[in-house]
Amino acid sequence: NAGVTQTPKFQVLKTGQSMTLQCAQDMNHEYMSWYRQDPGMGLRLIHYSVGAGITDQGEVPNGYNVSRSTTEDFPLRLLSAAPSQTSVYFCASSYSGGLWETQYFGPGTRLLVL
């Protein structure tokens, strides 16, 4: 199993550009989520999904969109990138227990917005 994979590993954007961060898992996990990690602030939840077709907002959802058309994939879209979105983004998945189970993190995407 590849586990949780993310692409790209690193991306540079200009302010106002849009892009999609890809996340996929091959463990048949129902629960998937996106976090951003900023220095000194831990990981903050952006959006999460409890299954295909179901998504919900986390702590910091503004400026991001998600969709969940399949169990395997959970892309994160930046609609109009801003310097404040410079961060490291982690995708995570877990079994049906969701937040009350082990979160398996992807390797992360480092995003720089100029």
Partner 1 sequence: GENVEQHPSTLSVQEGDSAVIKCTYSDSASNYFPWYKQELGKRPQLIIDIRSNVGEKKDQRIAVTLNKTAKHFSLHITETQPEDSAVYFCAATGSARQLTFGSGTQLTVLP
Q: Interface with partner 1 by CB under 8 A: which residues?
A: 33, 35, 40-45, 48, 58-59, 90, 98-100, 102-103, 105-108
Min CB(28)–partner 1 separation in Å: 19
Task: Kindly tell me which of 71 and 103 has the beta carbon lying closer to partner 1.
Answer: 103
Q: How far is CA 84 from the centre of its chain?
A: 16
Min CB(48)–partner 1 separation in Å: 8
Tokens of 111: 């995003």
Query: Which DSSP state fits 73?
Result: B
Min CB(79)–partner 1 separation in Å: 22
| Three-class DSSP category at 36 | strand
Cα–Cα distance measured from residue 79 to residue 65, given in angstroms and rounded to the nearest whole number: 7
